Amino acid sequence: MSRTQRIGRDVFASILSHKPRAFLMMLGVAVGVAVLSAVIAIGQGTRARVLQLVETHNLDMIMIRAGGDAQVFAPTADRGLSSLFPEDARAIEKEVPNIDLISATQNKRGINLVYEDRSAVTRLFGVEPDWANVRHRSLASGEFISNADMTSMARVAILGDTVAKALFPEGGAVGRTIRLENEPYVVKGVFLLVGSTSEEDFDDRIVIPYTTSARRLLNRPFLEQIVFTVKDTSLIPQTAERVRSLLRVRHNIGQGRPDDFFVREPTDVADAAFQTPKMLFSLMAAISLVALIGGGLVIMNLMLIAVSQRTREIGLRRAIGARAGDITQQFLLESLFVALMGGVVGMVLGLAVAWGLDKAGLVVSQITWVPFVAAVAACTMVGLAFGVQPARKAAHLDPAASLSGRAA
């Protein structure tokens, strides 16, 4: 049997003969790794969901909202601010370079829809024909709003998937006549399913021509939004600044006075979406780090106690030819192996917790190879870093004193 094999045999024999001590050493590391694994899995799931949210808000789109306060995501209630008008959209389209497609947008919550004995309450958008392309909304069936619909102020509507299923669970919505706030509207199309986030259901809406909403339904000229895409996404910051400058001039906003609008760039969506998860996961990562350090200290202290209790064993091994390096290697491997066993237990526990919370709908988790690599790396560092001192102490015991019991 080689020297390495003998050391490995001694490591396993020592661990198996001191199971309670090994269990206590494993426990601290397991807690830290469990928290770390859960944080990573939930963090990856949250990141994926946030990226989906950002993509849904479109990476080539700039949105202008009425009101000077920063409204990155959809407001939770109608605000009724009258600081944006269709003329602003036309001025942006004409005077700002890099504009591709643009749409003036009105919206209102709490719109009542009825079809036969079914009803729904949804959010209405009054938009221009380019809106679907600006927002990258494709149709599952039918057609989108046309210029002719705009000119004639047609009572036509495009339904989101949620609304379509509520009113027409059997399908076949296109061509049917629904009542929108007790007025007849013909369903011209149905959007493809987009999905929802914790902030908004993007399928719970109805879209009609802007002219219809402004002059027939809502009877008001001001807008909630102006949305547009850019030709060159690398020029988004410059384009947004040109829009701000133009609107400040059009709205007669003097120097030093706040804007009465908010220009939302794609980076605003990403920054706002990642802000809370970053803070939360930084805190959880700090907790896992503290738990791992605590587990490492437990390993070191119990190993130091073990060295004191095993002086005769160490002295006997030295007397029969074991080198100081062999003793060091044995105690380091014991520390490392216990840490890795604790890491396996903690990783399984942490991923199980993340999976359970995901199934319960409390968080979003995504299990990949990253938690496995992080757990192995963390346990290896903890086992080696906190096993060095006990290993050095064991290796430097005087063999003669150890055999006589005086080294303890």
pLDDT tens digits along 367-381:
788 878 888 888 888
Residue 113 and residue 47 share a domain: no
pLDDT at 335: 80
In a domain, 189, yes or no: yes
Element (H, E) at 99: strand 99-115
Element (H, E) at 206: strand 205-209
Residue 292 and residue 206 share a domain: no
pLDDT at 30: 84
pLDDT at 177: 96
Residue 213 and residue 302 share a domain: no
In a domain, 65, yes or no: no
In a domain, 173, yes or no: yes
In a domain, 64, yes or no: no
Residue 117 and residue 13 share a domain: no
In a domain, 77, yes or no: no
pLDDT at 78: 57
Domain boundary at 259, 294, 318, which?
Answer: 259
Q: What is the biggest distance separating any 2 CA atoms in the chain, rounded to whole angstroms? A: 106
> Which residues of the chain are modeled with pLDDT < 50?
72, 408
Element (H, E) at 157: strand 156-159
Domain limits at 212?
Answer: 82-259
Residue 100 and residue 249 share a domain: yes
Residue 293 and residue 342 share a domain: yes
In a domain, 241, yes or no: yes
Residue 301 and residue 248 share a domain: no
In a domain, 73, yes or no: no
Give the residue from 160, 166, 188, 161 showing the smallest Cα distance to 176.
188
- The number of beta carbons lying within 10 Å of the beta carbon of residue 178 is 24
In a domain, 70, yes or no: no
pLDDT at 122: 94
Domain boundary at 259, 279, 307, which?
Answer: 259
Domain boundary at 259, 283, 313, which?
Answer: 259
Residue 282 and residue 242 share a domain: no
pTM of the predicted structure, to 2 decimals = 0.59
Residue 103 and residue 21 share a domain: no
Residue 244 and residue 289 share a domain: no
Q: How many separate domains does the chain show?
A: 2
Residue 98 and residue 221 share a domain: yes
pLDDT at 33: 84
Residue 23 and residue 46 share a domain: yes
pLDDT at 14: 63
